[in-house]
Amino acid sequence: MKRRLKGFVAIFISLTILFLAAAPVGATSVSSLEKEKEKIEQQKREADERKKKEQANYNSASGKVDSIQTEVDEIEGEIDEIDAALVETIASVEMIEEEIGEKEDQIAQTMADYEAAKEVEQQQYDAMKLRIKFMYEKGDVTYLELLLESSGFGEMFNKVEYIEKLYEYDRKLLEEYQLARQAVEELQQKLEDEKAELEAQRHELEEEQASLEAILTEKKAAYDNYETQLAKAKQEAAIYKANIKKQNDEIKKLEAAAAAKQSEIDRAKQAEEEARRAQEEALRKQQESSSGDPGSSSGSGNGSSKSYASASSYSGSGGKGQQIANYACQFIGNPYVPGGTSLTNGADCSGFVWRVYKDFGYTVPRTSYSLRSAGTGVSYSEAQPGDVMCYAGHVGIYIGNGQIVHASTQRTGIKITNATYKEILSVRRIV
């Protein structure tokens, strides 16, 4: 009886010790730690929300940067075209100025020739008048004496013929000088007409030059305005990016703090469990008349998600360009995210190209505009899988058969499209 009583007392004391060790002190400690962890996790959730907002702002700012950059690129192209047209117009004006100068020299020479021809004509006319006047002043008697003085009929005939030839010579010579003067006069008129045409062309070209200069001034002002907007948008994007980094740093610290707190909880729970097992072992030893085996349980779980092959796994599928094209196509259907570079969570057009090439160890520009000058330019007819197709404000990867894979729009995401769905500005070969 006494032995039984001693056994019950021992059991009672052991249970009391177990209750005191396992209940109030340990439970309060673990509960306090879990509350502290919950507080940290709440702070992390709040930091995640702030990060999401900053990411949305950054994506919006990056999209704005791309949009403004596209405008800048377009207006820069227009300025180059206007510059070229203006240079051509100025050159044309200068050429016409030279032609007008040459025409004026020709007109001056023609006028001198005309005056010389008129003078020769006048001289011939005056000489002919003198001869005619001399003959008429001598009268018929002189002519008769001239004929009668002839030694014979043949000489007399020769003198008559000579007089007629003299008249005929004077007449023809005068006609020739008159024709020469008329030809020079017509040439002068022709040169005057040509000069007038050149002056009209010069006037039109000068008006065109003035118009181009005005347009160029307007375009340059618009370009400067876009440059200012672009700088502001880039600054905003940089601020949002810095804020995202700040939130990431804060989240990492909170995650580390939560992990540390979880370690404390695990250690506290382990200490509790060890104390509980120690007390149970002590109780078991006190219960000589009873026995029991501890039980155990186990469980397992599994899950699945979409997986993607790594870039290195494509090393045996054709040339490097074909490997790049095949690798890029496995991300079809994933979202378009402005400013993004993730092949799974979302990327914009240049971010998609940048990341695909980065996974193969290549560094390419991050913007669609800069990609226009990357690698080596080839014609569309020479395009091969893996080449970068460049459009106005957009890029994609050529996969062959006249098709590209690209991050298209926020509505359609990453998809395959005909390469000629809009004008191709250039084809760039990276590998």
Residues assigned a catalytic role? 349, 394, 406
359 in Cβ contact with 314 (< 8 Å) = no
Partners of residue 417 on adjacent β-strands: 404
Task: Report the alpha-carbon distance of residue 245 to residue 315 in Å, rounded.
Answer: 35
Short-list 373, 80, 59, CA closest to 237: 59
Task: Report the alpha-carbon distance of residue 392 to residue 422 in Å, rounded.
Answer: 9
Cα 302 to Cα 296, 299, 344, distances in angstroms:
21, 11, 22
Name residues whose C-beta falls within 8 Å of residue 413's C-beta, 6 or more positions apart in sequence.
Answer: 333, 334, 335, 336, 346, 407
Task: Report the alpha-carbon distance of residue 195 to residue 186 in Å, rounded.
Answer: 14
Start-to-end CA span in the chain (Å): 95
Report the run of H or E that residue 179 belongs to, with start and end: helix 153-286
Cα 325 to Cα 254, 399, 430, distances in angstroms:
40, 5, 12
Give residue 313's identity as a one-letter amino acid code. Answer: S
**Three-class secondary structure of residue 190 per DSSP:** helix
Task: Report the alpha-carbon distance of residue 286 to residue 180 in Å, rounded.
Answer: 152
Give residue 18's identity as a one-letter amino acid code. Answer: L
Concatenated DSSP letters of 67-113: HHHHHHHHHHHHHHHHHHHHHHHHHHHHHHHHHHHHHHHHHHHHHHH
> What single DSSP character describes residue 25?
I
**Three-class secondary structure of residue 127 per DSSP:** helix
65 in Cβ contact with 230 (< 8 Å) = yes
Report the run of H or E that residue 249 belongs to, with start and end: helix 153-286
Name residues whose C-beta falls within 8 Å of residue 27's C-beta, 6 or more positions apart in sequence.
Answer: none
Q: Helix, strand, coil: what percent of the chain each, to 5?
A: 75, 10, 20
Alpha-helical regions (H) of 289-336: 320-329
For helices 153-286 and 26-148, the axis angle rounded to 10 degrees is 180
